[in-house]
Structure 1
Amino acid sequence: MNEVRRPALSLPAGHAKVLLHSCCAPCSGEVMEAMLAAGIDYTVFFYNPNIHPEREYLLRKDENARFAARHGVAFVDADYDDALWLARTKGLECEPERGERCSICFDMRLERTALYAYEHGFSVITSSLGISRWKDFAQVVASGKRAVSRYDGLVYWDHNWRKAGGSARAVEIAKREKFYQQSYCGCLYSLRDAHHRRGIAQRS
């Protein structure tokens, strides 16, 4: 790994390890390498039942697992319960990106992350979701804090991974690792909207 200059990084006071909810390898690459460089003990938790179709889910999961294995990082492969995701987002099919559907989606994923953390001895969780410029960072943090509020002593680490060059490093790592690059956020409705935008662009 080439030497990269990053800001000093440390967990919230008094905590020793963190459970990282990862949405995909391109987003989590910088988060993972930054924590490794800082000597932070962490485990990757892959729970993304929003991703559609299943072959897309498997592509993203396998890419992330491969990167974790190369760095010797523990990787937890959670369930793909897409039926539950569809049930929880029912009625929000026409919500825009960063709308209420995204909040419900973040809630679902980070609730499961918090539960796993509580059951397996982690006192801190965080997520790579906030590094993407397509996401509302404050929206992700709000979901994370709601998720941990159910469990005494569990903390959501709200470090802004896109700051201080984090987003640019994520892009550089994705290129270096030749990560599979998805063309939409992940869910059935973002895929629909991506097709719509491409259709408009091709006609204009």
Structure 2
Amino acid sequence: MKLLLHACCGPCSLEPVRLLQAAGHDITIYYANSNIAPQEEYAHRLVTLEDWAKSEGLPVIEGSYDPATWENTAGRIGDAALADVRTAREQEQPAADDHDASDPAADNPSAGENSSGTQQSTGDPRKRTPLRADVLSVDPARREARCRACYRLRLEETARVAAEQGYDGIGTTLSVSPYQYTQVIEEEVQRAASRAGITGIFEDFRPYYDEATRRSRALGMYRQNYCGCRISDEEAAAERAERKAQRAAAKQAERAEHAAEIAAAEAELKDHRAARAAYDKKQARKRAILKSLREQAKQEVSE
């Protein structure tokens, strides 16, 4: 099958491409990722993908980079979910930052489409309220809705281009990551393909994630530490900070649990050092006395 394969990055493409080629598909990679922010990150991932694809003789097509459209769909859903969290926190303890939680996109992954079905571009993706560690409290269902809208935007674009350029079907590398919503990805691949009148090829590539990681590291490929969007970046940073705090708390708790033992050991060591110092002082006094007696005896003999 002539397949247009949506790819999120180079490392995630390694195993899906290998497996799909082994299945007999003729692959062209399609880089459609308006979710990735900032633009420098988008470009870095694209260059990494293109360099690898060139070495494999694989064509790469770059889609349009339109972060404003992403903000108007998935971004709005993510911000609405965060606003709910912040509102709840403010009800307990008023905070300085205010955010409107009423967002029709929150419950509709297709919100942001106009009557013709095309996406409306609004807002600057950089003019957003920074996240805090409270992102960890976002309802998983709301986070899944954000990711579904993101998948839908990119896969519908992939399917549209595939149909226009004569491809038989589409697929995606997204399902190689254990951090994604695999079932949602499958649903969105099939939905986008069906709407475009082509075939959707889906495979759960998660069992090959470790091998993809190993291969990408061996190749020295750039490996990102967040999914791509500004919200996932801050979520990942907050989660790393939370894990660091948990490790520090566990270490402190362990030390507190053994505080009595540590104090006893330190006291024993202190007593040992004090006894040793007293012993050394006593021995030094004895040696001084013996030396004095020897010198006195020599003097008496010489007289």
TM-score above 0.5, yes or no: yes
Computed over aligned residues only, the root mean square deviation of the Cα atoms, in angstroms, reads 1.6
**Equivalent in the alignment of 2:40:** 55
Secondary structure at 2:27 match in 1: strand
**Equivalent in the alignment of 1:8:** none
Consecutive unaligned residues of structure 1, counting only runs of 5 or more, are 1-15
Consecutive unaligned residues of structure 2, counting only runs of 5 or more, are 83-137, 249-303
**Equivalent in the alignment of 2:242:** 200
Pairwise CA distance, 1:65: 0.8
Pairwise CA distance, 1:98: 5.3
2:142 pairs with 1:100: no
| CA gap 1:176/1:39 in 2 versus in 1, 3 angstroms | farther
| CA gap 1:87/1:117 in 2 versus in 1, 3 angstroms | same
**Equivalent in the alignment of 2:109:** none
Q: Which moved more, 1:54-63 or 1:192-201?
A: 192-201
2:157 pairs with 1:116: no
Distance 1:147 1:52 in 2: 24
Is this contact kept in 1: 2:35–2:150, CA < 8 A? yes
Secondary structure at 1:43 match in 2: strand
Is this contact kept in 2: 1:98–1:136, CA < 8 A? no
Q: Give the TM-score normalised by the residue count of structure 1.
A: 0.85
**Equivalent in the alignment of 1:151:** 196
Q: Deviations over 1:52-107 (max 9, x none)?
A: 11111111111011111111111001111001000112142235485100000000
Name which of 69, 72, 86 aligns with 2:57: 72
Aligned residues: 186
Secondary structure at 2:195 match in 1: coil
| CA gap 1:100/1:28 in 2 versus in 1, 3 angstroms | same
Give the structure with higher Rg (CA). 2
Pairwise CA distance, 1:189: 0.4
Q: Which moved more, 1:35-44 or 1:117-126?
A: 35-44
Q: Give the TM-score normalised by the residue count of structure 2.
A: 0.58
Secondary structure at 1:44 match in 2: strand
Kindly indicate which of the two structures has a greater share of residues assigned to helix: 2
Identity, in percent, stands at 32
Higher relative contact order (CA 8 A, sep 6+): 1
2:114 pairs with 1:129: no
